[in-house]
Amino acid sequence: MIAEKLRIQIGDNKNVFLTIEKAEEFNQRINFLSDEKSILEDEYFKMRSKYRSNQLIMDEAVAKSENYQELLDTLQRSKQSELSDRLIALSEKLQSMRLGEMRATRELKEVKEKNDYFARLLRTSTETVKNLEERVAEFESRMNKREEEFRRADNERMKRFFNARYDDFTPQRPQSAEPANPFSNSRV
């Protein structure tokens, strides 16, 4: 809901130059929302992990209960001790296999969710870096254009300054056609 308000405000201000303060305010809001989202996602994954471990404990208890009920029924029907011992060993193996399968399934789901989360996080970070690089390139381009404008204006200013200063300047030529020889002894 806050993000939608920000989009509406940004959309309303598309044709208006944003002040630095307004841009900083938007940046602070976006950073705050990103931090809150990360915290909530971390809490979500912690709760999912606790939920899975509690579900595993519950499944284990249900499996044990079913196993013991089957054993009780079997023992009540048959009186042979050898058969019951064998049946107990087989049911314990079956129970441990079921529990192992349940654990593996839950762990697989958890790993997949974590991978999806990290992939989204990486994609978001990559997009953020790309956007920042584009903004830096844009600002560098603007700065280079400004520097070029200032350089041209300074060159024009210097050209006008020197032209105005030396407009009346005319170089004086020597009066004789021969250059004066500083080593000659003749004095004229």
Of 182 and 150, more confident: 150
**Where do we find the tokens 């013991």?**
68
Long-range contacts, stretch 122-131, CB < 8 angstroms, 24+ apart: none
Domain ranges of the chain: 2-165
Token reading at 168: 């009346």
Q: What's residue 156's pLDDT? A: 92
Residue 19 is classified by DSSP as P
Q: What is the CA radius of gyration of the chain?
A: 43
pLDDT score, position 155? 93
Per-residue pLDDT at 7 exceeds 90: no
Contact between 102 and 56 (Cβ < 8 Å): yes
Q: Encode pLDDT of 20-56 as tens digits.
A: 888 788 888 888 988 898 899 899 989 988 998 898 8
pTM score of the predicted model: 0.37
Q: Which one-letter DSSP state was computed for residue 62?
A: H
CA dihedral 45, 56, 103, 109 (to 10 degrees): -30
* Per-residue pLDDT reduced to its tens digit, 30-40: 889 888 988 99
- The pLDDT of residue 152 is 94
